[in-house]
Structure 1
Amino acid sequence: MTQSASYFGAVATDQAVAGFTAGLVSTLVCHPLDVIKIRLQVDDTVNGKNRLIGRSAKVVTSLMRSDGIQGLYRGISPSVAGASVSWACYFWWYQHMKDGIRRSNGGSAPTAPQHLAASAASGAITAFFTNPLWVIKTRMCATSSSQVDAYSSMANGLSRLVREEGLRGLYRGFIPSLAGVSHGAIQWMVYEELKKWRIHENDYHVKENLSTTEYIGMSVTSKLTALILTYPYQVVRSRLQNEKDDRKYRGLTQVISKTLKSEGLIGFYKGMFPNIVRVLPGTCITFLVYEQCTRYFREHGH
């Protein structure tokens, strides 16, 4: 098996840097849609028959009225930190696991189930280390800066979270986040299999460069597949993370039962439209930046 060229001395490190860069760029571009999505997810009110339609415009209007244009970027610091660290951590672990699988396969590329397992394990490790950042992000996105008791910054949120709620606060929503590992696992399994289908591999490390259109097509297909299958966990996670004193929800099962009882199945898909609008361009940006960084590191590595 041919040794793959590396820019930073190890392929896993190259992958981590590429993932960090991709997460940073994608988050900076798409954060306003994240704010809208989270506000819809934590809203557990029932508003007539079309409770999912037209809500996004109302959220934007409310944000502009209370905080102005900067309201669309509330929570940007934990969002950037969480996304960039998550992608870096994920790709670092994912590359190490794929390398281990290839060695155990005698140099052959991982199979679809092996891609699924490597992705799921990498996602679980990443979720453990980054969950506190997502709690802060959710709470900042769900509140206006002028709101009483709102976090003023990421540092303020972390210090208050530790002081007021301890370890439990840092890991609110962690269980549905673990369930959400299936989202990334499905997405990456589909993406890797589509890429493998498009590339003839004489050597797993030496890949012909695909076109931008092909990367976009594969990233959109894989993301939509995972999103449709797993979206409800995001609503459950956001509601748990936004809960500070357990007055409304006392755990995972209560969030699910209350949502189902008062809002029906459609309640688990609140924020779906802005999420699709956000994740599709965000996913395309992430995968394109990741692939271009990976290509550059491979071509200029030693």
Structure 2
Amino acid sequence: MSKQAPKTTFSGSSATDQAIAGFVAGAASTLILHPMDLVKTRFQLNTSAIRPSTIATFASIWRNEGRMRGLYRGVGPNFAGATASWGLYFWWYTIIKDWMRDSPSEQLGPAQHLLASAEAGALTALFTNPFWVVKTRMCATRASDPGAYPSLRAALPRMWREEGLRGYYKGLLPAFLGVSHGALQFMAYEEMKQRATSPGQIEYIGMAAASKVFATVCTYPYQVLRSRLQSHVGKSELYDGVISTIRTIFRNEGFRGFYKGMGVNIVRVLPGTCVTFGVYEGISKLFRVYGTVP
């Protein structure tokens, strides 16, 4: 067996390299695809029996909310949340995987990838949840609505004054449940990467898309639950807890209520995942090529 070549690093740490690549990838996908994220959020929060089409919703926002400005409402917290999430996720994921290995050349199995992804996802959710609360509330409202947040910078101190620390962490329990989404996605992605022979950029994108669809179908209800909890400002018996929210959705909307917005979500996550992982793998490759052995 040939000895594996030592790993190179651009920044002096492979974990930092992965964090930088994740940060840039998250920024690129968010700036390109935020309008789809906005529409998905509004679909998730729609409790009526009438389901507007995706095209009609885009047209309504364009016509009534300031065109591009309306479609990019909430992009600030979404950008902050996405870049921080991808950067922190890949940083912790790399550190945890390295900690699991007995030697640098050891190949991890599906269970180890699942565990490393879950741990990295839980840590990331804990640090970034306030950004997602603001993003959900801004995407759910128009800029002209009474009490609507004008920006991330204005929203965070206002939330602290009005709701305290609890406001920052609304929807955290569903977010922890949603760790299974990232865990399933990365388990599938890593297993496909290990079985691929000299994959190129197109192969990476295809594997990323397949793993994302697999994870989305398995775990989508948590996203609806999280959006419902995060969107509500203040206290209410209806959305005061996870169990009561689940019961309310099921009673009023049936099982389909847990999958509202999944169609537009898949349309959104496929190009988003392709952009994210394409940029991530491209930057990671550049770091390996131009890096040095620490």
Same fold (TM over 0.5): yes
Quote the residue 1:227 is aligned against. 216
8 Å Cα contact 2:220/2:258 also seen in 1: yes
Contact 1:40–1:55 under 8 Å retained in 2: no
Once the 2 structures are TM-superposed, how far is the Cα of residue 256 of structure 1 from its aligned partner? 0.5
Partner of residue 164, structure 1: 162
Q: Deviations over 1:220-279 (max 9, x none)?
A: 110000000000000000000001123231110111000001100111111111111110
Q: 1:250 aligns with which of 240, 248, 251?
A: 240
Matched, 1:65 2:63: yes
Q: Kindly report which structure 2 residues correspond to 1:20-59, keeping only aligned pairs within 5 A, or say none.
A: 20-47=23-50, 51=51, 54-59=52-57
Letter in 2 for 1:196: Q
Question: Taking structure 2 as the reference length, what is the TM-score of the superposition?
Answer: 0.95
Task: Determine whether 1:19 maps to 2:61.
Answer: no
Deviation at 1:11, TM superposition (A): 0.4
Moved more, 55-64 or 119-128: 55-64
Give the Cα–Cα distance (whole angstroms) in 2 for the partners of residues 60 and 284 of structure 1.
Answer: 22
Q: 2:171 matched to which residue of 1? A: 173
- Unmatched 5+ stretches in structure 2: none
Task: Give deviations 1:68-93, integer Å, cap 9, x for gaps.
Answer: 21110000011111000100000000
Which residue does 1:86 correspond to in 2? 85
Offset at 1:185? 0.3
Alignment partner of 2:143: what SS?
Answer: coil
Q: Provide the alpha-carbon RMSD of the alignment.
A: 1.3
Any gaps of 5 or more consecutive residues in structure 1? Answer: 200-207
Contact 1:11–1:95 (8 Å) recurs in 2: yes
User: Is 2:262 the counterpart of 1:262?
Assistant: no
Determine if contact 1:23/1:286 at 8 Å carries over to the other structure.
Answer: yes
User: Cα 1:294–1:56, aligned 2, differ >3 Å: closer, same or farther?
Assistant: same
How far apart, CA to CA, are the structure 2 residues paired with 1:151 and 1:197?
A: 47
Q: Which of 104, 107, 110 is matched with 1:109 structurally? A: 107
Contact 1:135 1:172 in 2 (8 A): yes
The normalised TM-score by structure 1 is 0.92
Query: 1: CA distance between counterparts of 2:37 and 2:8?
Result: 36
- Give the number of aligned pairs: 287
How far apart are 1:106 and its partner, in Å? 7.3
Displacement of 1:3 in angstroms is 3.1
- Does the CA contact (< 8 Å) of 2:201 and 2:281 recur in 1? no
**Paired residues for 1:82-231 under 5 Å:** 82-103=81-102, 107-199=105-197, 208=198, 210-231=199-220
